[in-house]
Each structure stands twice: as structure tokens, then as C-alpha cells.
Chain A
Amino acid sequence: MKRGYYIVGIGVLLVALLLWFSRQTRQATGVSSETTAATSVSATVTQSPQPAPLGQTNKFAIPQKLMEELNKFIAITQPYGLERPITKADVTYFTNAFKTDMTLETKTHLVTFFDYRVTHFLATYDMSNPVTDAEGQAEARRKWYQATARWSEQEALAETHRILASLGIHGEWTNQKAEPFTLTVKNPQGERVRVTPFYTVTLESENGMVRAEFRMGQSGPGRLTEWYCRIRPSGQE
């Protein structure tokens, strides 16, 4: 066990890049009061993929079964920004360092697997908390004003249950909630607009939790930007 800890300890000792954010003191000069009301604006949703290092990826080591499971997941969930299956050529990083816990990354998505099941799926730059630095996060948020399509908590919850059923996952949920992320942002013209760029669904059971995040575009229903579920499908417990 000690050897395992040592390996893990060293393995995870990556140097975090520290950026100093210049300390600033703001004055509450822009104070105003208003009644709560929602506003919206139309625009186009785009992605901002950033390259990941290719040198670490051994694409030949990626099990075919893993790719099949991933694309089966994509077909079921129809994630945001993914209009076609992922091929090995798309993979920029892959590791199976620990047991059957594998991680695969493309320019725009990050996926972890356990026993060839997708346990965590992230739209790297399109999710509400992009896996990038502070500048990349701010850049991603500047596009939130484009989320003009309408959806509802009920639809988000129903979509989550549809995905779960399609994946063969059933649970006795002790808690279920769907939440819209509604906020006021500025559009490129500097106008303040009220939008709901994301819906999140959280399900809890004794066997684990499910988290699904859906992103709103200019039209259509919410599309998946994050999926987290370690619960095994029925029959595989």
C-alpha cells in the first residue's frame, strides 16, 4: 500500500500555475435597484477549442471497446458540440494508469471511464465551469449571453431520466432537483441581458449521485455539457 501511495503522491505532484490577480478595490458606484425581470437576446453559439499536447497520447493503447462505449454514450446523450462520433484520431490524451479507471481527452471533451463505462463526461470549454485557466473561463462566460432558447426544470429532469434509462441505470433516488442557472450578463454591445445558459440536474441515492448539466443554445433543447455517474447499470452491480 505504501508503494501505491508513493506512486500516487508523486504522480499527482504536478506544479499548479499560479497567476496573481491584481488586487482591486471597487466602489459601489454602480448601485441600482430594480424589480426582478428577465431579458434575453439572440446570438450564435460557438466553441473555442484549445489544443492539448499530443505527445503523451498512445492512440494504439486505446481499447476499441472503450471507443465503442464512448460513442454509444454520445449517441444516447447527444452532447453539446458533438455532432459525430469520436474517433481515435480525435484523441489527444489517453491514460489507463490505475486499474480500469481510464481517462480520454479530445480537443473539446474530457471523459473518464470505469470498467469501460463512462463515469464523467465534460465538454471542456462549453460547460459552466470550463476545465481551463481563469482567462479561458472568462472567455467562455462572455458567450453566455447567446443562450436564448427556452427550456424548463421539468424537461431537464426528464432528459436526465431518459439518459439513465437508456444507459440501463436505475436507482432509488432520495433526492432529485433540477436548477436553472439564470443570471444577468453583458452582451458585446454592453447591454445587460438576462439569460439561462445552463440547467443542472442532481440525483442522489445510497449507491451514488448523478449530475447532469445541460447548456442552452440559440434554439432547441438543452444539450449535455457534463455527466457524472458512477452507479453501475442494472445487472452489473
Chain B
Amino acid sequence: MKTRIQNKILAVTVTSFLWLPFLSQAQEERPKERPQAGNYYSAHSYESKRPPMPPLPFNPFPELPVYAIGERTFIYDDRAVDYEALRKEAAERAAAEAANQPAVAEGGEMMSPLESGSDLRLKIETFDAGVKVVSFNTITGLVYHLQQKNDLNDPQWTTIRTLVATSTNADYTIEDGAMGFYRVLQEDETIQFPDWFDAIYQLMEFTVYTPVTAGTIDLELYADGNLIFTDSGPIPPNGTVRLYDQNYDPAQWPNTGYYGVGEWELRVTVTPAAAFRGAAAQAQRRVKKEGRQRNPPFTYYGMTVEQGGIFSTATTAQDEVDEFMFFYLSANYQACDIVDWNFNLVDPIDRSIMPGSATLYDTNQWAPLRQYVSRSTATNTLSAYIDYLHYFGHGSSTSIGSGNAATMITLSQLNASAFLKTNKLTYVALDGCRTCDGTDFINALVGFRKTMTRFEFVNKGLDPHFGCGWNKSKAVGWVLQGTVNDRHFWYWSDFYYDLTRRNANGFMFRQYKQAADFAKNPQGGSPFHNLQTKPDAAGFVMVGCDECRFDERPGIVQ
């Protein structure tokens, strides 16, 4: 069966390479040659002081002077080019072509920014040392391939991530620190995956939509590489086919059980009966979902930890923060058992555990914490792992902690854990700067990049997971001029106070989002202060089931 997949290739290549210094040196140079291959920079872009255009792999204006500024690196003198007129001309030409040939999918050639009539934009932001966040706008339900190569003259691109868009934007964090070129490919709309979630917990489910109005659709479902189900038939009138496990009973959620499958793959083939938007051939997609949370623990364990050594010993700040942290630990004890660095149960009534069993000083504490969080051992058979974590200390968009990798938990360390890919933590609160600025780090821990309603969790058979932290709009200032910034810590105190409220029978009844609402607008109702509102709440980010309760997870009384 010959299958043709039509790709809409977006050829916006971007690099994090800083090129401005080269450009300033090159302006005084004489033309040397007319090179044939390399990176070509625009002089116009530099002079106009706008954000620099990415280099092109070819010279877009062979008739203009070109200057060599390094090994296969050039600058073309386009300062006299009227870009506005060119854009207008290109738009008119595209409109005329579209009028003559409305149903043809875009080709696969690389386009310069001038030629790109698409709305798809790829952006790279550099954050911490060596960390880049590649983001691009998306259309919900379509398939995207993010590709990379380190040498622009290399004809091969390597796909580093394939995803189905679930919103209007996607981002991907890269920690390699090396120069790279990136592009994103957008598959055409023939086969779409609305209502997508990239993992399967308690319900195997795929929803496929095609706008093709007549033809056939074929489905092949693979579990860990084994074909377990096939089906084919005419495309239904509404274009939607849902493949799911009919044994799933939402009444049993979240205790329906798991499949023991690590990876699910669905292969979809749509064969139009007649030409569809210019394409009469078949379209095929292969999409994958991870199987997750296959080993719910008998008892849920957790840790509430703070980074040590960040306060001057000359102040009482440490004691005051310990007091706050003890309260947070007590609150977490409402949902799980608390363990120490040796994974021994600790008595939360014993106030001396702060800092003894809950302060991160050096590798003696960071190493076990990293192991309990990432569940990484040589065989990935570790049974000592935690599901609840509250962390206070330094942070970034890709790590918590500070110093070197031994006294941090980094995104790459989490991604290296095979066990963590399928067994996420139930609850993670990261009280550090920018810990939720970007979604990769919190997603690596709890498996979600955004909030979803509890109804979605029930309908999709997802395990309850929740994560929270701060984005870059929040400066996590815990000490102001030597004095503890009580308002920051009160936010968490109020959050936990409200989150752990119980009824007369001992059942919690507040949702995460309700607790966050109380913490933001206590209106004088806090037992700790009389504030009406707390501006310190700005920048608080939640992901996962924000309508779930603190102790809501598989196999446990709620």
C-alpha cells in the first residue's frame, strides 16, 4: 500500500548563535568572493536595529555584494532592498496562485522568511546557561515534528520531538548548550487528533477526525509494538472515529486499573474516495501515547524540603522559615506519609525535623532526594520513591537547587529516568524562582503541562496529578533586607490551610484551585494574618487536575 504523507513544511530556521559581533566587524571589510554555501546574514536587519533575522542557507540576493565574515559565514548587503515592496509583491503573487490552485498542499522546499506566507512561527529563547526553549504556534489536533541539526549544510534533519498540538502553542526545552538549527514541520489537516492527551493511564483512547467527506479510514493499534486491534470502514458522516477500551467504567475512577503497556501507537490511514483538496492519495499518520502510572503504591510517601545555607546565620530568618516549612510539612502529612533521607518514616509532630530531616545541605541530602523523585536506579526497580514533594529554595525553568549538578535536580536528570516517564508524582509544589516558567520541568515530574478539568480526568481515565510553581513574573523574594518576607510564605500557609480542610467525617473537600483562590484573596479570613489580598500570588502557575483534592489519587480514600 503506497502511502503519501503531505507535509506542510515550515522552513523558519533559527539559531541561538549570537552573530551581532561578527556583523560589526564585517562592515568594514571588502568583498572577497561570491560564496556558494554557508550562513548568510542580512545587513539590513542589523542596521534597522530590529530583532535579527536568522541566517539563510543561501544568498537571497545574488546580485548584491556579499562579505565573508568567517568560515562559511557571510553577510549580504541588502540595506537598499525595499522589503515592504517585496512583501506586498509576494502577497499579491501568493493570492493569485491561491486563486488558480486552491486545494494544493504546500510543497516541501525551504522558504526564506520573505516567502513564508504561513502563520507558523518558531521562536527560540535562551534562559539559563546552555538552555534554550524552542516554541512555535500550533493548530489544535494537528501533528508537528520539531527537527534539529547542528550544521546548516548538513542535508539531514533529526526529529527531536513529534507532538499532537493540544493548544495554540507548543514549547520544548533543550539543555545541550550547543549551537543548533531548528525547524518545525506541520502535517496537513487530512488526519487530525482532537481532544488529544499524550499518555494513557486507565483508559486506552484515541480520537481521530478527518475533514474528508467520502472515503475509507483504517486503524491499527499497537501495544508495545504488537498489533492488537485493526478496524476499517467508511468515513462516518461527522468525520470522527473514537477508538477506546469499552471496558472502562468511569464510575470506578480513579481505581479502574492499568494496562501494563509502555507505549501505544495508532496508525491511521485515510483514503479519499475522490480528490480531496487537490490530493487524491492516501494520508497516513502514526501517533504514540505513553502508558503511565502502572505501579500505584500501597502507601503514598512524600517529602517537604528546603534548601539549606541560603540564609545568613546572623539572622533569625532561618528559624522563621523553618517554622513555615514545618507547617507545610504538617499539611503534606495530611495526604501522605513523610520520610527522611534514608526513607524512614518521620514523626511530623517532632518539630526538630526541620532542619534535620528536611533541609538540603549537600550531596548527602540531594542524592537521596534525586533518587526518590526520579526513581532512578540501575535497574529502575526502586521501591523507595515519593509521590508528594514540596520544595523551597533556588530554582530555574529547568532545575531546582544551585551550584553544580550534584546539588541540583535538573531536567536532564529527570528525563534520564525511565521509571519517571511512566510513574509521575501525584503532587509537586516548587517554591523557587521560575520553576514553572516553561512546562518541561513540571511536566517531567507530574506529567501535565496545563490544567485540565476533573471531568476530563474522569472521561480520559487519567490519574490525578497536580503541580505548581512560579513563572518569571514572580520574584520569589523570601527575604527583604534581612527580614523574612512573610507575605510570600503566607501564600503557601493559606494554600495548605484551605487545601487540608475536612468535614466532620474527615474527608477533604477543597480543590487545589479553590485553595489557590483563598490564598490569593483571603479577605481577612486567614488564621495567620489579616490581609485582604496578596499581590504575591501573581505568577503562581498550576498544572494538572486543579479541580482535584489533595488526597485524591488511585487506591486511597478521598
* Chain A residues in the interface with B (C-beta under 8 A): 1-2, 4-5, 8-10, 12-21, 23-36, 52-53, 56, 92-93, 98-101, 103, 105, 110, 112, 114, 120, 122, 124, 128-129, 131-134, 137-138, 141-142, 144, 179, 181, 183-186, 192, 198, 200, 207-209, 211, 228, 230-232
Contacts and interface: CB of A to CB of B under 8 A. Distances in A.
A25 B335 contact: no
A100 B348 CA distance: 29
Contact of B528 (A1, A14, A105): A1
B323 A19 contact: no
A230 B557 contact: no
Contacts of A33: 219, 231, 241-244
Contacts of A142: 251
A208 B517 contact: yes
Contacts of A132: 505, 507, 558
B514 A8 contact: no
A4 B327 CA distance: 10
Contact of B228 (A28, A32, A92): A28
Given A16-B334, A24-B257, A31-B228, A105 B503 contact: yes
Q: Is the interface of A mostly helix, strand, loop or mixed?
A: mixed
A138 B493 CA distance: 33
Contact of A56 (B454, B502, B504): B504
Contact of A134 (B327, B497, B558): B558
B507 A200 contact: no
A198 B557 contact: no
Interface stretch (B30-38, B45-53, B424-432, B547-555): B547-555
A52 B504 contact: yes
A230 B521 contact: yes
A103 B557 CA distance: 22
B455 interface: yes
Given A179-B455, A200-B453, A19 B502 contact: no
Interface string B476-505: 000000000000000001000100111111
B555 A31 contact: no
Contacts of B525: 98-101, 114, 230
Contact of B455 (A28, A128, A134, A138): A128
B558 A137 contact: yes
Interface in B257-315: 257-261, 295-296, 298-299
Query: What class of interface size applies to chain B in its complex with A?
Result: 35 or more
B506 A17 contact: yes
Contacts of B299: 18
B229 interface: yes
B301 to A, nearest CB: 12
A181 B330 CA distance: 35
B518 interface: yes
Contacts of A179: 453, 455
Contacts of B152: none
B440 to A, nearest CB: 25
A183 B242 CA distance: 13
A20 B255 CA distance: 10
Interface string B528-558: 1000010000000000000101011011111
Nearest to B336: A16
Contacts of B349: 10, 13
A216 to B, nearest CB: 14
Interface in B215-252: 219, 221, 223, 228-229, 231, 236-238, 240-252
Contact of B556 (A18, A185, A186): A18
30 contacts: A4-B528, A5-B327, A9-B331, A17-B506, A23-B257, A23-B258, A23-B295, A24-B258, A25-B258, A26-B258, A28-B204, A36-B207, A36-B240, A36-B242, A56-B504, A93-B504, A99-B525, A105-B504, A129-B558, A131-B505, A131-B507, A131-B509, A133-B557, A142-B251, A181-B458, A183-B458, A184-B250, A186-B249, A211-B514, A231-B521
